[in-house]
C-alpha cells in the first residue's frame, strides 16, 4: 500500500489519538446528547472526516441507487461515519476497512452504541492487501483515502479484485491541482513524506488502465471552497464546537484547516467525485 513498511507506520501514527472513544463520548455529553439515546446524526460533526461533511456523503450516495440488497465496502472507513450513514439511510450492508486499528476499534464501539452491529463491520487492514475474496462486493465507496497511498495502480487493481463484475466504485478524493505544491500540514499529512497526490487526469488514466469504465465525473473543487468558507464564518462567529473533526486532528487543527483552505483557494488541490464500473461478464464476452 505504501513505498515501505515505514510509510505505513508513519500514516498510522499520523492518525493516532489516545483515548479517542472517551474523547468523542465526553464531547457528546458536553454537547447535551444523551448517550443512551444516541443517533447517527448526533455523530455527524466528527464522523464525516472529509470536505463537505454529511451533506457531501448523502449527495454522492443518492447518485448510486443504494438499497438493502447491496454489499458495500468502505475503503478508508475512518471512525465509520459514512458506513453507518449508508447503512441507516439506504439499508445496505457495509464493511469498512482502515489502516488505523484505533479508528476501527472506535468505529465498532460506536456502531454498537447505535445498534448497528448487524449492519456494519470494520476490518483493520491495508487497502492493497484486503482480506476479502475476489468478487465480494456490489459497491466500493471511498472518500479522502488515496492521498496517503503511493501505489495507486496497486490500489485500483485491488479494488477491481474485490468488486463483483458489473459492480461500481464511488470515489471522492483530494487530488493535485495546477497551483503548485501544497502547503503543509494538512489533515492527511504533516509533511510530504506520507502525501501522494495525483492529478485528476492521472486518476482517470489509472482507473481506465485498471479496467474501469467512467460513469460520471464531477469536479467538486468550487463546492469544497464554498463549504470551507461557510465553516470558517461559522467558527469565526461561534468558535469551535465541542464535537468536530478538530478532535481527530489535535493541536494542529487550525493550521491544517487554514492550509486546506489556502490550498483550495490557490488551486493547489482539487476535489473529484467519480463513479466507475467494473464491466459485467456479459460486457466482457461481447
Q: What percent of the chain has pLDDT over 90?
A: 79
Section 125-153 average pLDDT: 97
SS3 of 271, please?
strand
Query: Where is 9: in which H helix or E strand?
Result: helix 5-15
Which among 95, 52, 76 has a CA at the least distance from the CA of 149? 76
- Please work out, in degrees rounded to the nearest 5, the angle formed at the alpha carbon of residue 240 by the alpha carbons of 238 and 246: 160
**pLDDT of 4 higher than 70:** no
pLDDT tier at 284 (50, 70, 90 boundaries)?
low
| Any domain includes 282 | no
**Omega of the bond prior to 184 within 30 degrees of 0, cis?**
no
Tens digits of per-residue pLDDT, 64-120?
999 999 999 999 999 999 999 999 999 999 999 999 999 999 999 999 999 999 999
pTM of the entire predicted model: 0.94
Angle between helices 101-113 and 5-15 (to 10 degrees): 40
| Any domain includes 18 | yes
Tell me the C-alpha distance between 125 and 267, whole Å: 33
Q: Which domain does 40 fall in, by range?
A: 5-275
| Any domain includes 283 | no
| Any domain includes 181 | yes
Q: What pLDDT score does 5 carry?
A: 45
Section 193-214 average pLDDT: 98
Q: What pLDDT score does 8 carry?
A: 78
Tell me the C-alpha distance between 54 and 47, whole Å: 8
**pLDDT of 1 higher than 60:** no
Tell me the C-alpha distance between 17 and 191, whole Å: 18
Q: What pLDDT score does 6 carry?
A: 43
| Any domain includes 284 | no
How many domains are contained in the chain? 1
Q: Which three cell numbers stand for residue 240?
A: 469551535
CATH of the domain at 209: 3.40.50.150
Q: What pLDDT score does 241 carry?
A: 86
| Any domain includes 26 | yes
**pLDDT of 281 higher than 70:** yes
Which among 112, 170, 117 has a CA at the least distance from the CA of 143? 170
| Any domain includes 93 | yes
Q: Report phi then psi at 181, rounded to 5.
A: -60, 150
Amino acid at each position: 500500500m505504501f513505498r515501505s513498511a515505514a510509510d505505513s507506520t508513519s500514516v498510522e501514527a499520523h492518525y493516532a489519538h489516545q483515548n479517542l472513544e472517551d474523547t468523542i463520548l465526553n464531547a457528546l455529553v458536553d454537547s447535551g446528547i444523551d448517550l443512551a439515546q444516541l443517533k447517527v446524526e448526533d455523530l455527524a460533526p466528527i464522523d464525516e472526516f472529509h470536505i463537505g461533511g454529511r451533506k457531501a456523503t448523502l449527495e454522492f450516495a443518492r447518485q448510486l441507487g443504494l438499497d438493502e440488497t447491496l454489499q458495500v465496502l468502505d475503503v478508508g472507513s475512518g471512525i465509520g461515519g459514512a458506513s453507518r450513514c449508508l447503512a441507516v439511510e439506504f439499508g445496505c450492508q457495509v464493511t469498512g476497512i482502515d489502516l488505523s486499528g484505533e479508528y476501527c476499534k472506535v468505529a465498532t464501539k460506536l456502531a454498537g452504541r447505535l445498534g448497528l452491529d448487524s449492519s456494519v463491520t470494520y476490518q483493520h487492514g491495508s487497502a492493497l492487501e484486503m482480506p476479502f475474496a475476489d468478487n465480494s462486493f456490489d459497491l466500493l465507496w471511498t472518500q479522502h483515502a488515496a492521498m496517503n497511498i503511493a501505489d495507486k495502480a496497486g490500489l485500483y487493481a485491488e479494488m477491481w479484485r474485490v468488486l463483483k463484475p458489473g459492480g461500481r466504485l464511488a470515489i471522492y478524493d483530494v487530488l493535485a491541482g495546477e497551483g503548485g505544491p501544497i502547503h503543509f500540514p494538512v489533515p492527511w499529512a504533516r509533511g510530504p513524506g506520507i502525501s501522494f497526490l495525483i492529478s485528476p487526469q492521472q486518476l482517470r488514466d489509472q482507473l481506465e488502465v485498471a479496467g474501469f469504465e467512467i460513469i460520471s465525473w464531477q469536479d467538486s473543487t468550487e463546492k469544497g471552497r464554498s463549504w470551507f468558507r461557510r465553516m470558517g464564518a461559522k467558527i469565526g462567529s461561534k468558535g469551535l464546537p465541542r464535537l468536530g473533526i478538530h478532535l481527530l486532528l489535535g493541536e494542529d487543527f487550525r493550521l491544517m484547516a487554514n492550509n486546506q483552505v489556502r490550498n483550495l483557494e490557490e488551486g493547489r488541490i482539487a476535489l473529484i467525485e467519480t463513479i466507475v464500473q467494473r464491466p459485467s461478464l456479459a460486457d466482457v464476452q461481447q
